Amino acid sequence: MKKGALAPNLKLSLPPDDEVSLSKFLSESGTFKDGDLLVNKNGVRIVSQSEVEAPILIQPSDNQLSLADFDAGQVIGKGNGGIVRLVQHKWTGQFFALKVIQMNIEESARKHIAQELKINQSSQCPYIVVCYQSFYDNGAISIILEYMDGGSLADFLNKVNIIPEPYLAAVCKQVLKGLWYLHHEKHIIHRDLKPSNLLINHRGEVKITDFGVSAILASTSGLANTFVGTYNYMSPERIIGGNYGYKSDIWSLGLVLLECATGEFAYTSPQPGGWVNVYELMETIVDQPAPRPPSDQFSPEFCSFISACVQKDPKDRLSANELLTHPFVTKYDDFDADLALYFTSSGPPLATL
């Protein structure tokens, strides 16, 4: 794609001479701030006037940061809602992931989306993928995200097939910390926890992404039917349309971990080739007993952990906080799993910067 081809109508408000070099911008602390704009070695970020640390949503009318300030790179992923592209910030050279979701929506829906994305952007947690900024432009939502060079846990599982318990415990611990943050600090339910929404990098970090986004998309009329994949990890109480809360994410976590451990989605379809009828799958989740790992292949701690997550009654499930002290999570503390090495040495190399 041509440089600057993404959104030529948005302009960054730079100091008068926009040829000035980045080094000139940086103060001794390594951070430059001009009005709303904050630049440091980690990149560029828009901050609100009142809360210097918290990024805010920029509406196109704010006319401050442009998608044209990023060079577009290769497409690194495709989801139901749109594409994810590697982009590089022209000033700093830093890489980001740009997620573009095409949707033609009305003004009211757009306001709602802006609100949701604001929550997304105010999250500051090492276990949550940073959402730097979002734009709505010409029928598409573009979200600038922290680039996770290992891709998703779904991508990784495709390479390794299964994740052995000691590594899985280390992955699980990070996801639980992210969930703890979302549930207890931000008071939000993720709603779409699944392997493709857990991203990894060469530092061995695991981060949760896409919270809120799925809710927006699913609630936007005409799009709901597109998001069939989402039902796989949906808790029984959500499927039946009842009230649901944080524990709904814990159910999804249980299914994700089970899939990582066994290499297969927890609910096997009666016919070969997978689930063709989503209602059949939903019925199975609601009516059948919760899945369990084969106890002869996994540790009692792992089996107990999964059972604590996939209780059909949400009241019987443990919270993220409680699960953090579960014996499965603490059992491998001494093993000190090197996820950085594990992620980078398994299969083909990760996309590098």
Active-site positions read: 192
- Residue number with CB closer to Mg ion (10 or 253): 253
What DSSP assignment string belongs to 155-202? HHHHHHS---HHHHHHHHHHHHHHHHIIIIIS----S---GGGEEE-T
- Residue number with CB closer to Mg ion (81 or 236): 81
Q: 97 is in the binding site of which of Mg ion, ligand ATP, none (Cβ under 5 to 8 A by kind)?
A: ligand ATP
Q: Which of 76, 282, 290, 310 binds ligand ATP (CB under 6 A)?
A: 76
Q: Which of 69, 116, 155, 237 binds ligand ATP (CB under 6 A)?
A: 155
133 in contact with ligand ATP (CB under 6 A)? no
DSSP state for residue 69 in the 8-state scheme: G
Instruction: Please name the residue that has the structure tokens 């392997």.
Output: 195
Please enumerate, as own/partner, the contacts of 40-44 that have beta carbons within 8 Å and a separation of 24 or more. Answer: 41/92, 42/94, 43/89, 43/92, 43/94, 43/96, 43/132, 44/69, 44/89, 44/91, 44/92, 44/132
147 in contact with ligand ATP (CB under 6 A)? yes
* CA–centroid distance for 296 within its chain: 33
253 in contact with ligand ATP (CB under 6 A)? no
- Residue number with CB closer to ligand ATP (134 or 209): 209
Residue 99 is assigned to a ligand binding site: yes
Q: Which of 57, 65, 148, 169 binds ligand ATP (CB under 6 A)?
A: 148
Q: How far is the CB of 152 from ligand ATP (least distance, A)?
A: 4
- Contact between 87 and 70 under an 8 Å Cβ cutoff? The reply is yes
d(CA 342, CA 353) in angstroms, rounded, equals 19
Geometric angle at alpha carbon 92, from 88 and 97, rounded to 5°: 30
Q: 320 is in the binding site of which of ligand ATP, Mg ion, none (Cβ under 5 to 8 A by kind)?
A: none
- Residue number with CB closer to Mg ion (103 or 306): 103
Q: How far is the CB of 147 from Mg ion (least distance, A)?
A: 14
- Contact between 343 and 204 under an 8 Å Cβ cutoff? The reply is yes
349 in contact with ligand ATP (CB under 6 A)? no
Size of the site for ligand ATP (CB under 6 A): 25
Q: How far is the CB of 98 from ligand ATP (least distance, A)?
A: 9
- Residue number with CB closer to ligand ATP (196 or 311): 196
Find residue 208's DSSP bridge partners: 128, 198
d(CA 83, CA 99) in angstroms, rounded, equals 6
What SS3 class is residue 248? helix
Q: Which of 80, 158, 295, 325 binds ligand ATP (CB under 6 A)?
A: 80
140 in contact with ligand ATP (CB under 6 A)? no
Instruction: Please name the residue that has the structure tokens 């039902």.
Output: 231
The 84-113 site mask, x for binding ligand ATP (CB under 6 A), equals x------------x-x--------------
Instruction: Please name the residue that has the structure tokens 């989306």.
Output: 113
| Binding-site ranges for ligand ATP (CB under 6 A) | 76-82, 84, 97, 99, 129, 145-148, 151-152, 154-155, 196-197, 199, 209-210, 229
